[in-house]
């Protein structure tokens, strides 16, 4: 056989063998598994954005507008004041010049009017007021001043007096606390809405608004009982109100816990007293105030006190010994 033909036969046979092997491998299921599919990430829909309309700023306060006019940031002060007064207002003069603070107008006959007031420098603006009327103007730092006006709706309104004279709020309350020892540590004292402190002699002072009621309140806790007293005064300019408060000064208590005039518990003594109503202490009737009866029990620790009691319609007198205030008393309340 020709060598060339032999080579062609051998090469063709190899090709056939390779093809058969490939077909056999595909038919027996041994082909490589397909590559896993790439997971698809779900897309979250984006909510549509609603455009936000900016809120227009409200009109500035009257005092702010007046201050801006004084600083040259607005129209002249007189023009701004006339604008702020509006159709139901009036512009007046004041003296001395007011540099700050708030103003409030109290109408003698409110009638549903808002009665807005503002003052800066020597200008007073009254708006939302009746055409003619009167009231009390209260400017921070000054004494209340009565004022009248007319022509508020005609654009030619005027005040009486004009200019309005404001007086400094120079009034106060002078007070003295008597009858107790170590009061500065045990006494709570407020005057005209502000806490005050006592000096070494038991005196105190509180600034007040002239012509207005000032409430002076003193409070003291005696462990299981509490005491308080309230005084109302009306100081005037140049005429300070004088107050004297007498505080019970005992440092001993009955060995009882009392509520509503009845004994709730006994610290020391006969437990059978629980539930009895106290009628009198050392012959002094018990006040209506459930916590007020202790005012009649003043005395030294260790001294004896006679309690008149009532229980189940029967009356009896029981002696008890006062004891000194202790730390446990302050834990009860």
In angstroms, the CA 297 to CA 322 distance is 8
pLDDT at 26 over 90: no
242, 256: one domain: no
153, 88: one domain: yes
Minimum mean pLDDT among 99-103, 140-144, 206-210, 261-265: which range? Answer: 261-265
153, 176: one domain: no
Beta bridge mates, 93: 123
User: Six-digit token pair at 49?
Assistant: 């954005």
In angstroms, the CA 275 to CA 177 distance is 36
Between 62-70 and 77-85, two packed helices, what is the crossing angle to 10 degrees? 160
Query: How many domains is the chain partitioned into structurally?
Result: 3
In angstroms, the CA 224 to CA 329 distance is 6
Q: Render pLDDT for 279-313 as a digit per residue (tens, 0 to 9).
A: 887 887 776 655 444 444 556 677 788 888 888 88
Report the share of the chain in percent with pLDDT over 70: 64
Minimum mean pLDDT among 77-81, 112-116, 236-240, 256-260: which range? Answer: 256-260
185, 115: one domain: no
84, 161: one domain: yes
67, 150: one domain: yes
Domain for residue 42, yes or no?
A: no
Domain for residue 177, yes or no?
A: yes
Q: Please state whether 24 falls in left (phi above 0), alpha (psi between -120 and 50) or beta.
A: alpha
User: Six-digit token pair at 125?
Assistant: 């603006």
159, 76: one domain: yes
> Which of 246, 275, 308 is the C-terminal boundary of a domain?
246
Domain for residue 24, yes or no?
A: no
What's the confidence (pLDDT) of residue 222? 58
What's the confidence (pLDDT) of residue 148? 93
140, 183: one domain: no
What's the confidence (pLDDT) of residue 149? 92
* Residue of 120, 210, 119 whose CA lies nearest to 167: 210
> Which of 221, 246, 271 is the C-terminal boundary of a domain?
246
- Rg for the chain, CA atoms, rounded: 46
In angstroms, the CA 81 to CA 119 distance is 9
Cis status, amide bond into 163, omega within 30 of 0: yes
Q: Render pLDDT for 177-216 as a digit per residue (tens, 0 to 9).
A: 887 655 556 678 899 887 888 888 888 988 887 888 999 9
CATH number at residue 291: 2.30.42.10
* Residue of 90, 105, 97 whose CA lies nearest to 139: 105
CATH number at residue 236: 2.60.40
Residue 149: domain span: 62-165
Domain for residue 101, yes or no?
A: yes
* Residue of 185, 311, 206 whose CA lies nearest to 249: 185
Domain for residue 41, yes or no?
A: no
User: Six-digit token pair at 16?
Assistant: 């056939």
Q: Render pLDDT for 64-123 as a digit per residue (tens, 0 to 9).
A: 777 787 776 777 887 888 888 888 889 989 999 888 778 889 999 888 888 888 888 888
What's the confidence (pLDDT) of residue 16? 47
Domain for residue 79, yes or no?
A: yes
In angstroms, the CA 247 to CA 220 distance is 8
177, 272: one domain: no
> Which of 132, 165, 198 is the C-terminal boundary of a domain?
165
Domain for residue 158, yes or no?
A: yes
Q: Please state whether 154 falls in left (phi above 0), alpha (psi between -120 and 50) or beta.
A: alpha
In angstroms, the CA 26 to CA 9 distance is 26
198, 260: one domain: no
* Residue of 236, 283, 231, 292 whose CA lies nearest to 261: 292
What's the confidence (pLDDT) of residue 232? 95
């Amino acid at each position: 056989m020709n060598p060339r033909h032999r080579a062609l036969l051998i090469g063709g046979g190899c090709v056939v063998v390779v093809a058969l092997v490939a077909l056999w491998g595909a038919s027996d299921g041994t082909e490589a598994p397909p590559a896993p599919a790439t997971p698809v990430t779900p897309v979250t829909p984006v909510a549509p954005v609603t455009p936000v309309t900016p809120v227009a700023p409200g009109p500035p306060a009257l005092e702010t507008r007046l201050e801006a006019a004084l600083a040259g940031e607005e129209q002249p002060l007189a023009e701004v004041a006339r604008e702020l007064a509006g159709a139901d207002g009036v512009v007046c003069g004041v003296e001395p010049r007011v540099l700050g603070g708030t103003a409030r107008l109290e109408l003698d006959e409110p009638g549903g009017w808002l009665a807005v007031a503002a003052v800066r420098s020597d200008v007073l603006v009254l708006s939302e007021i009746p055409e003619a009327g009167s009231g009390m103007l209260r400017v921070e730092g000054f004494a209340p001043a009565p004022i009248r006006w007319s022509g508020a709706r005609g654009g030619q309104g005027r005040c009486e007096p004009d200019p309005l004279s404001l007086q400094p709020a120079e009034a106060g309350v002078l007070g003295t606390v008597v009858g107790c020892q170590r009061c500065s540590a045990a006494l709570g004292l407020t005057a005209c809405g502000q806490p005050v402190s006592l000096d070494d002699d038991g005196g105190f002072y509180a600034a007040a608004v002239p012509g207005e009621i000032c409430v002076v309140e003193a409070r003291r806790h005696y462990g299981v009982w509490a005491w308080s007293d309230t005084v109302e005064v009306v100081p005037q300019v140049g005429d300070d109100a004088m107050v004297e408060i007498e505080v019970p000064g005992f440092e001993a208590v009955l060995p009882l816990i009392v509520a509503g005039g009845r004994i709730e518990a006994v610290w020391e003594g006969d437990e059978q007293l629980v539930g009895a109503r106290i009628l009198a202490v050392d012959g002094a009737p018990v006040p209506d105030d459930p916590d007020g009866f202790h005012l009649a029990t003043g005395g030294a620790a260790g001294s004896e006190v006679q309690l008149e009691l009532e229980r189940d319609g029967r009356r009896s007198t029981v002696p008890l010994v006062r004891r000194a205030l202790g730390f446990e008393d302050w834990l009860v309340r």
